[in-house]
Every structure is written in C-alpha cells, then in structure tokens.
C-alpha cells in the first residue's frame, strides 16, 4: 500500500449489525488495486485485491440473503 493515507469508504451494507468492510476508491484510481479492511479494525490488516476480485465480492454480497 502507499505511504499516503487512504480515504476509506464504508460498504453500503454498513448498517447490517456492525459487520462492515471499507474500501479506498482513491487508491484504486491511482493503482488499480482495491484495498479492503474491516471497519471495526481500522489499524488491522488490509486485503489488497484486483478490481475483478472486488467485483466478485460485490456480486456475492448483493446475492446474499441478509
């Protein structure tokens, strides 16, 4: 990840009981890689995935029965 701080955005599902993920669209624009983290652990690990993998995660989330 870059040394600059990311502007994190919460998932649109963030009101589902606290199980949220965040991603940093600015980082994606600059690098083509999507950083994803647990919103409850902002200083925890960050998963760096391709845009295709991120699109797959979004599709799974949309298809899930919440």
Domain ranges of the chain: 9-63
Question: In which band, very low, low, confident or very high, does the pLDDT at 56 lie, cut at 50, 70 and 90?
Answer: very high
Collect all residues with Cβ–Cβ distance below 8 Å to 61 and sequence separation of at least 6. 11, 13
For 22-43, the pLDDT digits (tens) are 999 999 999 999 999 998 898 9
Instruction: List Cα–Cα distances, 7 to 19, 35, 59, in angstroms.
Output: 19, 11, 23
| Dist CA 41 CA 50 (whole Å) | 22
Q: Quickly list H helices, 20-50.
A: 25-31
| Dist CA 18 CA 14 (whole Å) | 6
Question: In which band, very low, low, confident or very high, does the pLDDT at 64 lie, cut at 50, 70 and 90?
Answer: confident
């Amino acid at each position: 990840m870059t040394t600059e701080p990311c502007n994190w955005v919460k998932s649109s599902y963030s009101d589902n009981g606290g199980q949220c993920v965040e991603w940093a669209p600015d980082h994606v624009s600059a690098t083509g890689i999507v950083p994803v983290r647990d919103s409850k652990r902002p200083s925890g690990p960050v998963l760096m995935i391709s845009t295709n993998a991120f699109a797959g995660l979004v599709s799974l989330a949309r298809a899930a029965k919440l």
